[in-house]
Structure 1
Amino acid sequence: MKKKTLVLGASLKPNRYSNYAVQRLVANSIETVAFGLRKGEVSGVTIDTELLDYETIHTVTLYLNPKRQVEYYNYIVSLNPKRVIFNPGTENPEFYGLLKEHNIAFEEACTLVLLSTNQY
Protein backbone atom coordinates (compact mmCIF):
# COMPACT_ATOMS: atom_id res chain seq x y z
CA MET A 1 0.00 0.00 0.00
CA LYS A 2 1.29 3.44 -0.88
CA LYS A 3 1.50 5.95 1.93
CA LYS A 4 -0.36 9.20 1.14
CA THR A 5 2.01 11.93 2.23
CA LEU A 6 1.66 15.59 3.16
CA VAL A 7 4.79 17.65 2.52
CA LEU A 8 4.51 20.46 5.07
CA GLY A 9 6.74 23.38 4.16
CA ALA A 10 6.79 22.68 0.43
CA SER A 11 8.68 25.14 -1.74
CA LEU A 12 8.46 26.08 -5.40
CA LYS A 13 12.22 26.66 -5.44
CA PRO A 14 13.86 23.70 -7.22
CA ASN A 15 16.97 23.86 -5.02
CA ARG A 16 14.96 23.17 -1.82
CA TYR A 17 14.82 19.69 -0.33
CA SER A 18 11.05 19.96 0.11
CA ASN A 19 10.70 20.52 -3.63
CA TYR A 20 12.87 17.53 -4.39
CA ALA A 21 10.89 15.44 -1.88
CA VAL A 22 7.66 16.17 -3.75
CA GLN A 23 9.35 15.15 -7.00
CA ARG A 24 10.71 11.90 -5.53
CA LEU A 25 7.41 10.98 -3.83
CA VAL A 26 5.57 11.42 -7.14
CA ALA A 27 8.27 9.45 -8.98
CA ASN A 28 7.72 6.63 -6.48
CA SER A 29 3.95 6.67 -7.16
CA ILE A 30 3.12 7.89 -3.66
CA GLU A 31 -0.01 10.03 -3.48
CA THR A 32 1.28 13.45 -2.43
CA VAL A 33 -0.30 16.65 -1.18
CA ALA A 34 1.64 19.75 -0.21
CA PHE A 35 1.33 22.89 1.89
CA GLY A 36 3.58 25.93 1.55
CA LEU A 37 3.68 29.70 1.68
CA ARG A 38 3.32 30.18 -2.09
CA LYS A 39 0.73 28.55 -4.31
CA GLY A 40 2.09 26.69 -7.29
CA GLU A 41 2.79 23.26 -8.64
CA VAL A 42 5.64 20.77 -8.41
CA SER A 43 5.55 17.57 -10.47
CA GLY A 44 1.79 17.89 -10.89
CA VAL A 45 1.19 18.41 -7.15
CA THR A 46 -0.50 21.67 -6.20
CA ILE A 47 1.08 23.45 -3.26
CA ASP A 48 -1.83 24.62 -1.15
CA THR A 49 -1.53 27.80 0.89
CA GLU A 50 -4.55 27.04 3.08
CA LEU A 51 -4.65 24.23 5.61
CA LEU A 52 -7.02 21.67 4.16
CA ASP A 53 -8.65 18.74 5.90
CA TYR A 54 -6.83 16.11 3.87
CA GLU A 55 -8.24 12.64 4.27
CA THR A 56 -6.28 9.49 5.08
CA ILE A 57 -2.85 11.05 5.45
CA HIS A 58 -0.40 8.31 6.32
CA THR A 59 2.74 10.42 6.63
CA VAL A 60 3.48 14.08 7.29
CA THR A 61 7.02 14.96 6.28
CA LEU A 62 8.21 18.23 7.82
CA TYR A 63 10.32 20.90 6.16
CA LEU A 64 9.75 23.61 8.79
CA ASN A 65 12.15 24.56 11.55
CA PRO A 66 10.94 23.85 15.11
CA LYS A 67 9.85 27.46 15.78
CA ARG A 68 7.69 27.47 12.65
CA GLN A 69 6.14 24.09 13.53
CA VAL A 70 4.38 25.36 16.66
CA GLU A 71 1.46 26.91 14.77
CA TYR A 72 0.86 23.59 12.99
CA TYR A 73 0.90 21.22 16.00
CA ASN A 74 -2.88 20.99 16.35
CA TYR A 75 -3.39 20.80 12.61
CA ILE A 76 -0.99 17.88 12.20
CA VAL A 77 -2.50 16.02 15.15
CA SER A 78 -6.01 16.61 13.72
CA LEU A 79 -4.98 14.81 10.51
CA ASN A 80 -4.24 11.72 12.63
CA PRO A 81 -1.34 10.55 10.49
CA LYS A 82 0.33 7.21 11.13
CA ARG A 83 3.72 8.94 11.33
CA VAL A 84 5.54 12.25 11.15
CA ILE A 85 9.01 12.46 9.62
CA PHE A 86 11.33 15.10 11.04
CA ASN A 87 13.81 15.81 8.25
CA PRO A 88 17.29 17.13 9.14
CA GLY A 89 16.97 20.53 10.78
CA THR A 90 13.35 19.98 11.86
CA GLU A 91 14.00 17.89 14.98
CA ASN A 92 11.65 19.02 17.77
CA PRO A 93 11.52 17.20 21.15
CA GLU A 94 8.63 19.41 22.31
CA PHE A 95 6.49 18.20 19.41
CA TYR A 96 7.56 14.57 19.97
CA GLY A 97 5.81 14.69 23.35
CA LEU A 98 2.55 15.87 21.82
CA LEU A 99 2.72 13.21 19.12
CA LYS A 100 3.33 10.52 21.76
CA GLU A 101 0.24 11.70 23.67
CA HIS A 102 -1.82 11.11 20.51
CA ASN A 103 -0.18 7.78 19.65
CA ILE A 104 1.32 9.15 16.43
CA ALA A 105 4.65 7.59 15.46
CA PHE A 106 7.51 9.88 14.50
CA GLU A 107 11.05 9.52 13.32
CA GLU A 108 14.08 11.69 12.74
CA ALA A 109 14.95 10.75 9.19
CA CYS A 110 15.42 12.11 5.71
CA THR A 111 12.52 11.47 3.38
CA LEU A 112 14.87 11.48 0.39
CA VAL A 113 17.13 8.84 1.95
CA LEU A 114 14.16 6.70 2.98
CA LEU A 115 12.86 6.81 -0.59
CA SER A 116 16.22 6.08 -2.19
CA THR A 117 16.83 3.07 0.08
CA ASN A 118 13.31 1.63 -0.24
CA GLN A 119 12.64 2.19 3.47
CA TYR A 120 9.81 4.69 3.03
Structure 2
Amino acid sequence: MSKKTLVIGASLNPMRYSHMAIQKLVNYKHETVAFGLRVGEVSGVAIDTELIPYKGIDTVTLYLNPKRQEQYYDYIIGLKPKRVIFNPGTENPEFYKKLEAHGIATEVACTLVLLSTNQY
Protein backbone atom coordinates (compact mmCIF):
# COMPACT_ATOMS: atom_id res chain seq x y z
CA MET A 1 0.00 0.00 0.00
CA SER A 2 1.40 3.38 -1.02
CA LYS A 3 2.11 5.81 1.79
CA LYS A 4 2.35 9.40 0.57
CA THR A 5 5.66 10.62 1.94
CA LEU A 6 7.21 14.06 2.28
CA VAL A 7 11.00 14.12 2.37
CA ILE A 8 12.20 17.23 4.21
CA GLY A 9 15.85 18.08 3.61
CA ALA A 10 15.85 16.70 0.07
CA SER A 11 19.15 16.96 -1.79
CA LEU A 12 20.19 16.78 -5.43
CA ASN A 13 23.49 15.22 -4.32
CA PRO A 14 23.30 11.46 -5.03
CA MET A 15 25.62 10.79 -2.07
CA ARG A 16 23.09 12.21 0.42
CA TYR A 17 20.73 9.87 2.23
CA SER A 18 17.72 12.06 1.46
CA HIS A 19 18.47 11.62 -2.26
CA MET A 20 18.71 7.85 -1.83
CA ALA A 21 15.48 7.83 0.17
CA ILE A 22 13.57 9.57 -2.62
CA GLN A 23 14.89 7.05 -5.13
CA LYS A 24 13.95 4.11 -2.93
CA LEU A 25 10.49 5.50 -2.08
CA VAL A 26 9.78 5.87 -5.80
CA ASN A 27 11.10 2.36 -6.50
CA TYR A 28 8.79 0.98 -3.81
CA LYS A 29 5.86 2.86 -5.42
CA HIS A 30 5.21 5.31 -2.58
CA GLU A 31 3.84 8.65 -3.74
CA THR A 32 6.66 11.03 -2.87
CA VAL A 33 6.97 14.80 -2.53
CA ALA A 34 10.08 16.64 -1.45
CA PHE A 35 11.20 19.90 0.14
CA GLY A 36 14.77 21.18 -0.03
CA LEU A 37 16.90 24.27 -0.46
CA ARG A 38 17.53 23.85 -4.20
CA VAL A 39 15.08 23.34 -7.04
CA GLY A 40 15.62 20.14 -8.94
CA GLU A 41 14.36 16.65 -9.51
CA VAL A 42 15.23 13.22 -8.17
CA SER A 43 13.72 10.12 -9.80
CA GLY A 44 10.93 12.20 -11.27
CA VAL A 45 10.13 13.90 -7.94
CA ALA A 46 10.37 17.69 -8.02
CA ILE A 47 12.11 19.26 -5.04
CA ASP A 48 10.00 22.17 -3.85
CA THR A 49 11.72 25.12 -2.19
CA GLU A 50 8.51 26.59 -0.79
CA LEU A 51 6.40 25.05 1.94
CA ILE A 52 3.35 23.64 0.20
CA PRO A 53 0.26 22.60 2.20
CA TYR A 54 0.26 19.05 0.82
CA LYS A 55 -2.84 16.95 1.42
CA GLY A 56 -2.92 13.31 2.48
CA ILE A 57 0.62 13.02 3.81
CA ASP A 58 1.03 9.71 5.63
CA THR A 59 4.70 10.05 6.54
CA VAL A 60 7.21 12.88 6.88
CA THR A 61 10.80 11.68 6.81
CA LEU A 62 13.33 14.17 8.16
CA TYR A 63 16.86 14.82 6.95
CA LEU A 64 17.51 18.00 8.96
CA ASN A 65 19.46 18.32 12.18
CA PRO A 66 17.38 19.25 15.26
CA LYS A 67 18.35 22.94 15.19
CA ARG A 68 17.20 23.30 11.57
CA GLN A 69 13.92 21.47 12.31
CA GLU A 70 12.59 24.18 14.64
CA GLN A 71 11.39 26.48 11.85
CA TYR A 72 9.30 23.61 10.41
CA TYR A 73 7.53 22.43 13.59
CA ASP A 74 4.23 24.20 12.88
CA TYR A 75 4.33 23.35 9.19
CA ILE A 76 4.81 19.61 9.83
CA ILE A 77 2.17 19.51 12.57
CA GLY A 78 -0.22 21.38 10.24
CA LEU A 79 0.16 18.67 7.57
CA LYS A 80 -1.31 16.19 10.06
CA PRO A 81 0.82 13.23 8.98
CA LYS A 82 0.28 9.87 10.63
CA ARG A 83 3.97 9.68 11.54
CA VAL A 84 7.31 11.46 11.36
CA ILE A 85 10.49 9.45 10.85
CA PHE A 86 13.62 10.82 12.48
CA ASN A 87 16.52 9.44 10.46
CA PRO A 88 19.99 9.06 12.04
CA GLY A 89 21.31 12.47 13.08
CA THR A 90 17.85 14.05 13.26
CA GLU A 91 16.80 12.79 16.70
CA ASN A 92 14.89 15.52 18.55
CA PRO A 93 13.11 14.73 21.85
CA GLU A 94 11.63 18.25 22.03
CA PHE A 95 9.89 17.75 18.68
CA TYR A 96 8.78 14.19 19.59
CA LYS A 97 6.76 15.65 22.47
CA LYS A 98 5.12 18.30 20.28
CA LEU A 99 4.18 15.75 17.63
CA GLU A 100 2.83 13.23 20.12
CA ALA A 101 0.74 15.98 21.76
CA HIS A 102 -0.97 16.35 18.36
CA GLY A 103 -1.52 12.61 17.96
CA ILE A 104 1.31 12.19 15.44
CA ALA A 105 3.46 9.09 15.85
CA THR A 106 7.23 9.41 15.89
CA GLU A 107 9.73 6.83 14.77
CA VAL A 108 13.48 7.00 15.24
CA ALA A 109 14.65 4.88 12.33
CA CYS A 110 16.29 4.90 8.93
CA THR A 111 13.85 5.22 6.04
CA LEU A 112 16.22 3.26 3.78
CA VAL A 113 16.35 0.35 6.23
CA LEU A 114 12.58 0.41 6.82
CA LEU A 115 11.97 0.17 3.08
CA SER A 116 14.61 -2.54 2.54
CA THR A 117 13.17 -4.71 5.31
CA ASN A 118 9.49 -4.21 4.39
CA GLN A 119 8.80 -2.37 7.65
CA TYR A 120 7.85 0.93 6.04
Partner of 2:13: 13
Query: Is 1:90 the equivalent of 2:90?
Result: yes
Counterpart amino acid of residue 105 in structure 1? A
Partner of 1:77: 77
Distance 1:26 1:6 in 2: 12
TM-score with structure 1 length normalisation? 0.99
Distance 2:13 2:67 in 1: 21
Alignment of 1:57-68 (within 5 A): 57-68=57-68
Distance 1:112 1:33 in 2: 16
Distance 1:118 1:84 in 2: 17
The gaps in structure 1 that reach 5 residues or longer are none
Runs of 4+ in 1 over 4 A off after TM superposition: none
Count of aligned residue pairs for this structure pair: 120
Partner of 1:100: 100
Distance 2:100 2:119 in 1: 22
Partner of 1:38: 38
The gaps in structure 2 that reach 5 residues or longer are none
Distance 1:2 1:42 in 2: 18
SS at match of 2:23: helix
Alpha-carbon distance, 1:2 to partner: 1.0
Percent sequence identity is: 73
TM-score with structure 2 length normalisation? 0.99
CA RMSD of aligned residues (A): 0.4
Alpha-carbon distance, 1:105 to partner: 0.2
